[in-house]
Structure 1
């Protein structure tokens, strides 16, 4: 059994449950543990590539036209991974990134880091500054608004709910819809392509037991998506969230957590340093 799994079994030994998709959660756990925080993964969103022929055809078309866009906005780390990463079958059809003038937009540091790892040139990458109060579409727009002139074409790469096999279903999202409105108001043209699907997790009985143990142990649920909150209530409707504590990485996520019934909710930016600061004295008093 891994140390991470042992920590979950100990119940009270876990201070933070990372609910991001599995691949992202692993990096967060390593960074939190490096700060002396006991952390474990309990993903609330499963991520998968779109398998239907229409979605794959749309991705191929977007790849072929990538150099024709003024900018490409990647809504998340999975958006980067499923659109650009070289281990994907479609990726070799993407033109050489260094030969294009197209800019990449990232709403936060995690997405920006993923773009750099995928090979996007840093000189053509835009994201909110490190000191931004929030990492979201609103903060991104403050940085990129001068780039959008009449006729500019912007591609938004995003996900959709599993089972929603149409692009319109993938465009829902308060921040991203707001960003699209700002682009269009400035005379730009917004196109959307869906690169991945999000689904509720299929938890084993052991994972269900761990979730209940974490609530009883007063562990912190690190929430990075309002959809994750919805999936938690969908997956475990009987979980006594009034006894649970949450760290939410955006005010909209915090509002969703409160509406779901979390007994205590703290807001923080989605960086390890901010999570550690938000935990505050609860780290020192942990058993």
Structure 2
């Protein structure tokens, strides 16, 4: 790895608890990482009698691994974590979020559906897998955060399913402390460009709010960016363009797994200034 990579800084903005393992791998590779969560995730609890159970649905879609974790935690707390119903399909938008389902021994692997690791990890890809099965389904549950895309839910409704949305967590922007702001400013002012990881449009908005508040828009726009979907890249590019950045930002889209993120981030950190 080049000397540039050894001095490059990485900014990881996933929520607290999601960055630490990746940061350790990067540090071992000689790439220091600054952990600056853009969003805080707060649980949403529900009345016991109103909590939806797996047996009431033909399909349960978990929009993230955290959504699955929160749902099963609430089931266990209510003593309702029984054998998974034979007719209920559990689905996620990608491989990473499916890991929570595979770890649940009560869910047969044949009942878990998600796009493969080689393709896009999103609602559109999941829809392609679900569409042939929909004629046998009547009711679907989407387990999600307080806000999110409505695309898949609307598609299921258009196909004739009754769709219920269950919010099990809320995401809110984090305003970085003075200490975090100082670390961020020093990373941006270093000789070599920072590599900034952004994993949702909400995190792009939250990081940008901190950047504007701190007066660091110009320095941030010179960073290199790693994102996990074209929608995230599009939102980032829109914000940077609106802020006056003329040249196209350096943006790399990769899969959301830690392995893929590690490889992409280390590659971006090792690129020469002229790359």
* Deviation (angstroms), 1:154: 0.8
Q: C-alpha deviations, 1:173-204, integer Å up to 9, x for none?
A: 2xxx2212221222212110110110111322
- Give distance in 2, aligned partners of 1:89 and 1:146: 29
Compare relative contact order (CA 8 Å, sep 6+) and give the higher one, 1 or 2: 2
The answer for the alignment partner of 1:196 in structure 2 is 169
1:128 to 102, 115, 124: 115
Instruction: Say whether the 8 Å CA contact 1:216–1:243 is kept in structure 2.
Output: no
Q: How do 1:171-250 and structure 2 match up within 5 A?
A: 172-173=148-149, 177-217=150-190, 218-237=193-212, 238-240=215-217, 241-250=220-229
The normalised TM-score by structure 1 is 0.78
The answer for the alignment partner of 2:23 in structure 1 is 29
Does 1:82 pair with 2:76?
Answer: no
Instruction: Say whether the 8 Å CA contact 2:140–2:162 is kept in structure 1.
Output: yes
Larger radius of gyration: 2
* Deviation (angstroms), 1:280: 2.9
- Give distance in 1, aligned partners of 2:151 and 2:258: 27
Which 5+ residue runs of structure 1 have no aligned equivalent? 1-11, 161-169
Instruction: Say whether the 8 Å CA contact 1:200–1:235 is kept in structure 2.
Output: no
Which deviates the most, 218-227 or 114-123? 114-123
- Give distance in 1, aligned partners of 2:266 and 2:23: 15
Alpha carbons of structure 1 residues 49 and 280: separation in structure 2 relative to 1, 3 Å: same
Which 5+ residue runs of structure 2 have no aligned equivalent? 1-5
2:230 to 244, 251, 272: 251
SS of the residue corresponding to residue 197 of structure 1 reads: strand
Instruction: Say whether the 8 Å CA contact 1:153–1:189 is kept in structure 2.
Output: yes
Q: C-alpha deviations, 1:77-105, integer Å up to 9, x for none?
A: 221222113xx586343341435432211
Alpha carbons of structure 1 residues 186 and 245: separation in structure 2 relative to 1, 3 Å: same
